[in-house]
Structure 1
Amino acid sequence: MELPLLLAGPLLRRVDPGLVAVQVVLSEAADVRVRVFEGRVASDTTNPPFATSADAPDPNVAPPHPGEKTLRIGEHLHLGLVTVRLPPASGKVFQPDRLYSYDVTITGAQNRTDLAGLGLLGTHTVSGVEVGPLGYADRMLPSFALPPTELDDLRIAYGSCRRPGYDDGDALAWLDEYLNERFDDPRGRIHQLFLGGDQIYADDVDSIMMLRTAELGVELIGTDGGVPLERVKVGQVLRRPEATEPNRLDPRASYTPETPQQTEAAGDLPAGPPQFPVGDRLRLTQVSAQLTSIDGANHLISLGEFAAAYVMAWSPAAWGEEVPGARLVTPADPTGSALRWLDTPTGDQDVELPPEVFPERVPQHLYSDAATIAQREKDKVEKAAQKFRARRRSHRVHRDFLLGLGRVQRVLANTPTYMMFDDHDVTDDFFLTPMWRRRVQGTALGQVILTNGMLAYALFQDWGNDPRRYDQVTTPERPELGGQLPGDLLEKATKLFPGTTPGPDATTFAELGRMFGHDLDNQPVGDGRFAAVDAPMTWHFTVDGPKHVVVALDNRTRRSYVAEIGPPGNVAPEALVDQIPRPPLPAGREVLVVIAPLQVIGPPVIDEVVAKAIYRIFDLVTAGDLTDPASVTGSRLMPGTNPDSLETWAFDPITFEHLLLRLAEHQRVVVLSGDVHNAASNVMSYWRGDAEQPARIAQFTSSGFKNVMPVYLRALDRSAMLLQELLRAKLGVERLGWTRPDADLVLLPEGRTEADLVATTRARLLRSPVLLATHGWLDDNPEGEEPQERLTSRLNPARPPDWRWRVSPLIDERPDAERPSPIRALPLDDAAIEAQLADPATAFPAMRAVAARHQAALDRMRNTRQMMFRSNFGICRFEQDDDGVVTAVGEVYTSAPDPETQQPVLGPYMVHRASLGPQAEDRPEVLRQDVLSRVPVPEPQP
């Protein structure tokens, strides 16, 4: 298709009192300027702009003014991040509690246009989809507001994990409905939106979307004579002799390895199909790249594909109306017609994908062996009906995703948006263990995927988080920096594909890899642990408002590890020094908000029980690769390769405790996370030394935008109800910590020694630091008798803990009438029902009323007072009372049909409240035998 000028955007990125950043992705080179106006204004306003990107630049930044000229990454991939900066000498700042509007002017080689000229300010059609006005009303410009002066007015939106192929609604699109009701109120609208990771799913693209992703990836970088300019280096290239027919039952038999001379003469393989076919990349990535992800049938490989994934995730502009190469066929018409995204197949219509093509040159390990192919062909016949349903379902899911992209584009244009990357932005198993890192970085294809994924993140996500950081470039006066600063990354990116020369340029590509640390390994530091890699590029950032400070953690590239193949520490203690500020916060700031892509404080029952079991279950499932000496995949002899079961913070207590200590220093902390594909909330009280008043850390988790927790945990929710019941019981977790081991930290019952303790507890008493649970201790008191201290395990008052903490799960305590209609139970007068049941004459009507309530519940959402398994987005806000006590409120929004009207209802289906103090609370003191003994038993009802 002919690409439009504006591929994605405008995206409103960093906004602070001295800067407004706007991001665009264009198909041609241009000068891009931004004008900012006070108030909400129309595109034809005669008001003078409050500030423009052409104003006097920051005196510390060399001309030309950064961001006005787009960066050429490929022939049809030009990125612009335009900043409106207010120099200190101007005396102006962008104020809180006010609305601002902005317009974007794009001047290309032959034309000049703006948002109105692009047709974005009225209802318009893109890729066959009708899209509403970008400014929420005809002719109105997009607008924004800075964080307000009062903490009670602050609204932070957050979420993560947006997988286009997942069969659920797109909560990022639902956020448009929330904003639509509040956009004209500077205090009530969203002030900051944090995307906490997995903005794309690089390792998990459905084939139907990959058809366009791969095609667009080639278009963005460009072609020469129809051959993609972007080339992909692999370990070994295979060649099929000219004028020979491929053996379709065993393609490997048709190919032989190229000699190094042949490969040098022919060059690296062109990106995209047919050399890297749609739907058949899994073996290639698991063997040639040594990845361990099991969802890599369409793993993104080239830079063009990564860029295309972002463009297609944020805008409908480059989708086009037809699915490339796909057909809509019937048994009576096997030729069929071109499949359109907005088609609705009916009856016996089937979605048919393009046939496989066998090119002259392919990467080694692309094709499976003959036996595997034979089994696959057999499965095609036996599972034809299943594949028929799967293709139609995938088409429907992506059609619905496309239909919501206009609303996503509007959210991103009207809300200051910050982006932190997580695993799926590169690959699901990203830096999982030191062994994984060494294996993947030791392959040519692994280096390609890692470097392209990280470069795409830098260009599409990180650049807008803190544009000033990318002003930093190595100068002749400071050659010792060696081109390792963020601004150098932008310069290098423009050199990858110069003109019509095939690329990427090998020297530049290698330099980028070194900036990302892809030439470094985790080094052992004793005690079996491995230190974090210290790469030149860092990814954490800070942004704040008048009453709060936000820090976003990088828990992917600065990981330490408990062992070579053990769980990651997520953020190494030495890296936390850079990522978490020391107290106090700047004057007037009352709360520290932490964006941690991976949930830090999970539901205690999951962290303590479920996660540890799941870790081993996955290893049993993949035991073949773990034990087979002939295996050549990335997971060979490497247990713990499933990220969903491995990456819990609690698996590495040392780094976990370091993080908690740094957070607790700030007293009032809110952690906003995603990753886990469910929504839940917990609160931690943390005491240091002999402190009577704890620091309070609230963990709000909203995930995913369009993905839900794995089936093994949903089964507990839907069937056995065990997980929800455990959560409702409010089982918490307590820990006691000492910096180093010592004798008699715990006094045991008379006549008992440490030899009587379970092995795990004995080991913990010897480790540094010492971390002990308050349950699982010996108690020799006879049942039913008054407890005697000498027969009880207890803390030694002469050696009190250096710190203590308690985690409690949060439950939605709202009355049913205050919750959205799809979640409310049918009301019953309990007292009247009990009276009717006691009278035989009225017992049957009473039972029928109870049965009707249960029947109505089957048509409604359930189990959302404590954990939600549904697409959702989170809103974090605050309430402060007259005594100065701050309460953090986590609202989880989703959309569900009302059983009465069948119309979708968007609302806060789960609301959790966590006091951040100051407040008094008893410290963990008592050592118990059983964790369940801490659960209060309900009083019997009269």
Structure 2
Amino acid sequence: MQLPLLLAGPILRRVDAGLVAVQVVLSEAADVRLTVWEGRVASDTTNAPFASSGDPPDPNAPEPHPGETTVRIGERLHLGLVSARLPPASGKVFESDRLYSYNVTITAASGTTDLAKLGLLGAHTVSGVEAGPLGYADRMLPSFALPPSTLDDLRLGYGSCRRPGYDDGDALAWMDEYLNDRVDDPRARLHQLFLGGDQIYADDVDAVMMLRVVELGVELIGTAGGVPVERVTVGQVLRRPASSTPTEADPTAVYTPETPQETALAGDLPAGPPCFPVGGRLHLTTVSGQLTSVDGANHLISLGEFAAAYVLAWSPACWGVEVPGATAVGGGVVRWLDTLGDDQDVVLPPTVYPERIPQHLFAGAAAIAAKAAEDAKTPPAERARSRRRSHRVHRELLLGLARVQRVLANVPSYMMLDDHDVTDDFFLNPMWRHRVLGSALGQVILTNGMLAYALFQDWGNDPRRYDQVTTPEHPELGGQLPGDLLDRAAALFPGSAPGPDRDLFAAIGRMFGHHLENQPQPDGRFGVVDAPMTWHFTVDGPKHVVVALDNRTRRSFVAEIGPPGNVATEALVDQIPRPPLPAGREVLVVIAPLQVIGPPVIDEVVARAIYRIFDLATAGDLTDPESAAGARRMPGTNPDALETWAFDALTFEHLLARLAEHQRVVVLSGDVHNAASNVMSYWRGAERRPARIAQFTSSGFKNVMPVYLRALDRSAMLLQELLRAGLGVERLGWARPDAELVLLPQGRTEADLVATTRAKLLRSPVLLATHGWLDDNPEGDEPVPALTSRLNPAKPPEWRWRVTPLIDGRLDADRPAPIRPTPLDDAAIEAQLADPATSFEAMQAVAARHQAALDRMRNTRQMMFRSNFGICRFESAADGSVTAVGEVYTSAVDPETQLPVLGPYMVHRAPLGPLDEAPPETLRESVLSRVPIPEPGP
């Protein structure tokens, strides 16, 4: 298809009192100008602009500087991040409690245009999709509001995990409806949107979407003589004689390795098919690239592919009408918006065997035969249904992309790096890092993935940081500042010659720390890699401060193949500010892509079991002596089981201590593919008034918890019942081991304790649970202290904490219609049950209520398993206390009206204090501490 000028955007990025930044992705080089007006205005407004990117930064400068120039990444890929900045000397600021509008003017070789001339400010059609006006009404410009002056008016949107191929609704598109209802009110609309990771799924692209990704990826970077300009370095290239014909049973049989001299002469392999075909990359990435992720057969590899994935995730502009290369049964093209019948199928392009391929592109004959035998067990009709499902899922995604584009244009958006933006097993452990970065293909994938993240996500989080460029006066920096990354990216593919430039690509990898390894420490741990580029950032408002953590590239580890400490203790010095917060700020908000405080029953019971279950399920792969895959002899390689914060107690406790210094903290997270909330009380020393840390998790935008946990929810209801029981977790902490921290029952010694508890008493820090202790009191008797395990009053804990799961306490009538149970008159039912003549009728009514509940998502008072987005807001009381409120929105069809209803299907309230609460002091036998279950509120 012919690429449009505007490939994606406008995306509203950082907005603060002195700056407004807007991001665009263009197919041509251009100068881009941003103009901002006060109020919500139309494109033909005659009002004087409030600010412009063309305004001089110095009021005394004789001439305004021109519009900002895009950064050329490829022939048809030009990135612009244009900002209107208010110099302190101007006396102006972007203010709270009011609306602002903006327009973007693009001057390219093809002419000058803006949002109105591009047709975005009225109803329009893109890739066959009907789209509404970008400003929510005809001719109206997109608009925004800064965080308000009152904490109770603040609205923070958040979410993560938007997987295009997942068969559920797109909650980021649903957010458009939420915003549409509040667009005129600067205090009620969303003020900041935090995308907490997995904006793309680089390691798991369905084949039907991958057809367009690989095609667009080549278009963006460019071609020369019909051959992609972008080349991919692999460890070994294979070549086949022109007269040979590969067979499906063993394609590699006719290929032989090239010599290094032959590869140097022929050059690296062109990106995209046929050297890197759709649907045939899994063996390549796990063996040549040494990755352990096996989520899909279509891992992104080239920079063009990563860029294409972002463009396709944020805008309908580049999808086109037809699914490239796909045909219907009997011939004919397949269109994205086709509705396929049960008798139709999507036929993917056949495999092409080029002259040169990367080693390990195809598995050996035995593995191919085994897979063919396994595939043969699936009936053809079922495979056809799977392909139709994939087509339908992407059709529905495309239909909502104009709404996603509108949300991103009207809400200041901040984006954090997480695993799927690069690969699911991203920096899983030191051995993984050594293997992957020790391979040529692994270097390519990680460097391209992180560079794409920097360009498409991180740059807009803090544009001022990317102003910094190493100058000749500071050669000691070695080109390690963020602005140097933009300069190097712009020079990777300077013309029609094959690229990327090897030296520049290697220099970019060094900026990401890819030449470094986690070093072993004396205590057996592995230290953090201190790369030049950092990814955490801070943004705030009049009443709150937001810090976004980097829990991917600044990890330490308990061992070479042990769980990660998701942010190393030394890295937290930079990522979490010391108190106090700036004057007037009441709450610290932390964006942690990976959930910090999980539901206690999952962190303490389910996760620890799943960690081992994954290893058992893949034991053959882990121990196979013939295996060359990245996961060989590396247990614990499934990130869904391994990356829980609680698995590395040292870094977890350090993070909690840093957060607790701020007294009132809200952590917003995603990653785990469900929504839930918990609150922690944290005491230091003899304090009786704890710090309060609320954990709100909203995940995913378009991805849900793995099937093994959803089965518990839908069938046995075990997980929901455990959560509903309000099972919490308590901890007692001391910096160093000491004798008699716990006094045991008379006649007992530490030898009577279970081995894990004895080990905990010897570790630094000492972290003890309040459950699982000896109690020799006879059952039913009044407890005698001498027969009970108890804390030593002479050596009290240095810190303590308690986690409580939060439950939605609203009355049924206050919840969205699709979730309300069928009302029953309890008194009437009791009376009917007492009368044999009416008892059966009463039982029918009760059974009907239960049956209706199965269709109405009844299990969402504590945890949600469906696409959702989160809204965090606050309520202040007259006594100065503050409550954080986490609202989880989803859309469900009301069984009665058959219409979708968007609303807060789960609402959790977390008092942040100040409040008085007794710390954990009692040691018990019970497995888990029980906390009160809140009753539904009035």
TM-score grouping bracket, smaller chain normalisation: over 0.9
Using the TM superposition, give the Cα deviation of residue 935 of structure 1 relative to its aligned residue in structure 2, in angstroms.
Answer: 5.5
Question: Is the 8 Å Cα contact of residues 56 and 63 (structure 2) preserved in structure 1?
Answer: no
Cα separation, partners in 2 of 1:772 and 1:26, compared to 1, 3 Å: same
Given candidates 600, 604, 612, the residue that maps to 2:608 is 612
Matches within 5 A, 1:923-942: 923-932=919-928, 934=930
Using the TM superposition, give the Cα deviation of residue 370 of structure 1 relative to its aligned residue in structure 2, in angstroms.
Answer: 1.2
Given candidates 836, 840, 855, the residue that maps to 2:836 is 840
> Is 2:345 aligned against 1:350?
yes
SS state at 2:534 partner: coil
Paired position in structure 2 for 1:19: 19
Paired position in structure 2 for 1:273: 273
Question: Is the 8 Å Cα contact of residues 157 and 872 (structure 2) preserved in structure 1?
Answer: yes
Q: Deviation digits for residues 406-462 of structure 1, max 9, x if unmatched? A: 000000000000000100000000000000000000000000000000000000000
Using the TM superposition, give the Cα deviation of residue 937 of structure 1 relative to its aligned residue in structure 2, in angstroms.
Answer: 10
Using the TM superposition, give the Cα deviation of residue 753 of structure 1 relative to its aligned residue in structure 2, in angstroms.
Answer: 0.6
Using the TM superposition, give the Cα deviation of residue 862 of structure 1 relative to its aligned residue in structure 2, in angstroms.
Answer: 2.2
Q: Deviation digits for residues 876-933 of structure 1, max 9, x if unmatched? A: 0000010011000000000000011111000000000000000010110000011356
Question: Is the 8 Å Cα contact of residues 529 and 563 (structure 1) preserved in structure 2?
Answer: yes
Q: Deviation digits for residues 305-344 of structure 1, max 9, x if unmatched? A: 0000000000000000000000111xxx3xx111000011
Q: CA–CA distance in 2 between the matches of 1:321 and 1:280? A: 25
Paired position in structure 2 for 1:370: 365
> Is 2:204 aligned against 1:204?
yes
Paired position in structure 2 for 1:762: 758
Q: CA–CA distance in 1 between the matches of 2:59 and 2:738? A: 58
Using the TM superposition, give the Cα deviation of residue 836 of structure 1 relative to its aligned residue in structure 2, in angstroms.
Answer: 1.8
Alignment coverage as a number of residue pairs: 934
Paired position in structure 1 for 2:215: 215
Paired position in structure 2 for 1:794: 790
Q: CA–CA distance in 1 between the matches of 2:66 and 2:617? A: 52
Q: CA–CA distance in 1 between the matches of 2:347 and 2:662? A: 57
Question: Is the 8 Å Cα contact of residues 196 and 421 (structure 1) preserved in structure 2?
Answer: yes
Paired AA for residue 439 in structure 1: R
Given candidates 858, 871, 876, the residue that maps to 2:872 is 876
Structure 1: give runs of 5+ residues left out of the alignment.
none
Matches within 5 A, 1:725-874: 725-874=721-870
Question: Is the 8 Å Cα contact of residues 28 and 76 (structure 2) preserved in structure 1?
Answer: yes
Paired position in structure 1 for 2:95: 95
Q: CA–CA distance in 2 between the matches of 1:295 and 1:852? A: 41
Paired position in structure 2 for 1:622: 618
Q: Deviation digits for residues 345-383 of structure 1, max 9, x if unmatched? A: 114111111111000000000011112223344455542
Question: Is the 8 Å Cα contact of residues 529 and 564 (structure 1) preserved in structure 2?
Answer: yes
Paired position in structure 2 for 1:700: 696
Q: CA–CA distance in 2 between the matches of 1:687 and 1:92? A: 43
Question: Is the 8 Å Cα contact of residues 12 and 414 (structure 1) preserved in structure 2?
Answer: yes
SS state at 1:298 partner: coil
Paired AA for residue 297 in structure 2: A
Cα separation, partners in 2 of 1:508 and 1:900, compared to 1, 3 Å: same
Q: CA–CA distance in 1 between the matches of 2:807 and 2:63? A: 55
Question: Is the 8 Å Cα contact of residues 315 and 401 (structure 2) preserved in structure 1?
Answer: yes
SS state at 1:841 partner: coil
Using the TM superposition, give the Cα deviation of residue 849 of structure 1 relative to its aligned residue in structure 2, in angstroms.
Answer: 1.7
Paired AA for residue 631 in structure 2: S
Q: Deviation digits for residues 757-807 of structure 1, max 9, x if unmatched? A: 100010000000000000010000011100001000000010010000000
Q: CA–CA distance in 2 between the matches of 1:938 and 1:521? A: 48
Given candidates 906, 915, 921, the residue that maps to 2:917 is 921
Paired position in structure 1 for 2:139: 139
Question: Is the 8 Å Cα contact of residues 159 and 194 (structure 1) preserved in structure 2?
Answer: yes
Using the TM superposition, give the Cα deviation of residue 527 of structure 1 relative to its aligned residue in structure 2, in angstroms.
Answer: 1.7
Paired AA for residue 20 in structure 1: V
Cα separation, partners in 2 of 1:610 and 1:933, compared to 1, 3 Å: closer
- Larger displacement relative to structure 2 (194-203 or 852-861): 852-861
Paired position in structure 2 for 1:337: 332
Paired position in structure 1 for 2:115: 115
Q: CA–CA distance in 1 between the matches of 2:557 and 2:773? A: 29
> Is 2:717 aligned against 1:721?
yes
Q: CA–CA distance in 1 between the matches of 2:61 and 2:325? A: 48
Question: Is the 8 Å Cα contact of residues 281 and 299 (structure 1) preserved in structure 2?
Answer: yes
Paired AA for residue 891 in structure 1: E
Q: CA–CA distance in 1 between the matches of 2:518 and 2:929? A: 43
Q: CA–CA distance in 2 between the matches of 1:195 and 1:762? A: 42
SS state at 1:931 partner: coil
Q: CA–CA distance in 2 between the matches of 1:249 and 1:96? A: 66
Q: CA–CA distance in 1 between the matches of 2:563 and 2:63? A: 47
Paired position in structure 1 for 2:525: 529
SS state at 1:705 partner: coil
Paired position in structure 2 for 1:452: 448
> Is 2:330 aligned against 1:324?
no
> Is 2:245 aligned against 1:249?
no
Paired AA for residue 147 in structure 2: P
Given candidates 534, 557, 564, the residue that maps to 1:561 is 557
Using the TM superposition, give the Cα deviation of residue 62 of structure 1 relative to its aligned residue in structure 2, in angstroms.
Answer: 15
Q: Deviation digits for residues 555-574 of structure 1, max 9, x if unmatched? A: 00000000000000000000
TM-score, with normalisation over the residues of structure 1? 0.98
Question: Is the 8 Å Cα contact of residues 67 and 83 (structure 1) preserved in structure 2?
Answer: no
Question: Is the 8 Å Cα contact of residues 285 and 296 (structure 1) preserved in structure 2?
Answer: no
> Is 2:386 aligned against 1:393?
no
SS state at 2:546 partner: strand
Q: Deviation digits for residues 542-593 of structure 1, max 9, x if unmatched? A: 0000000000000000000000000000000000000000000000000000
Q: CA–CA distance in 2 between the matches of 1:149 and 1:663? A: 24
Matches within 5 A, 1:413-562: 413-562=409-558
**RMSD (Å), alpha carbons:** 1.5
SS state at 1:908 partner: strand
Question: Is the 8 Å Cα contact of residues 730 and 929 (structure 2) preserved in structure 1?
Answer: no
Q: CA–CA distance in 2 between the matches of 1:800 and 1:630? A: 54
Q: CA–CA distance in 2 between the matches of 1:116 and 1:685? A: 52
Using the TM superposition, give the Cα deviation of residue 938 of structure 1 relative to its aligned residue in structure 2, in angstroms.
Answer: 12
Question: Is the 8 Å Cα contact of residues 34 and 102 (structure 1) preserved in structure 2?
Answer: yes
Matches within 5 A, 1:58-77: 68-77=68-77
Question: Is the 8 Å Cα contact of residues 61 and 471 (structure 1) preserved in structure 2?
Answer: no
SS state at 2:174 partner: helix
Paired AA for residue 775 in structure 2: D
Paired position in structure 1 for 2:293: 293
SS state at 1:699 partner: strand
Using the TM superposition, give the Cα deviation of residue 110 of structure 1 relative to its aligned residue in structure 2, in angstroms.
Answer: 2.9
Question: Is the 8 Å Cα contact of residues 55 and 64 (structure 2) preserved in structure 1?
Answer: no
SS state at 1:597 partner: strand
Paired AA for residue 366 in structure 2: A
Using the TM superposition, give the Cα deviation of residue 858 of structure 1 relative to its aligned residue in structure 2, in angstroms.
Answer: 2.9
Structure 2: give runs of 5+ residues left out of the alignment.
none
- Larger displacement relative to structure 2 (508-517 or 382-391): 382-391
Q: CA–CA distance in 2 between the matches of 1:475 and 1:232? A: 31
- Identity rate, percent: 81
Question: Is the 8 Å Cα contact of residues 58 and 85 (structure 1) preserved in structure 2?
Answer: no
SS state at 2:838 partner: helix
Paired position in structure 2 for 1:237: 237
Question: Is the 8 Å Cα contact of residues 677 and 806 (structure 2) preserved in structure 1?
Answer: yes
Paired position in structure 2 for 1:672: 668
Paired position in structure 2 for 1:41: 41
Q: CA–CA distance in 2 between the matches of 1:387 and 1:60? A: 69
Matches within 5 A, 1:622-701: 622-701=618-697
Q: CA–CA distance in 1 between the matches of 2:486 and 2:644? A: 34
SS state at 2:795 partner: coil
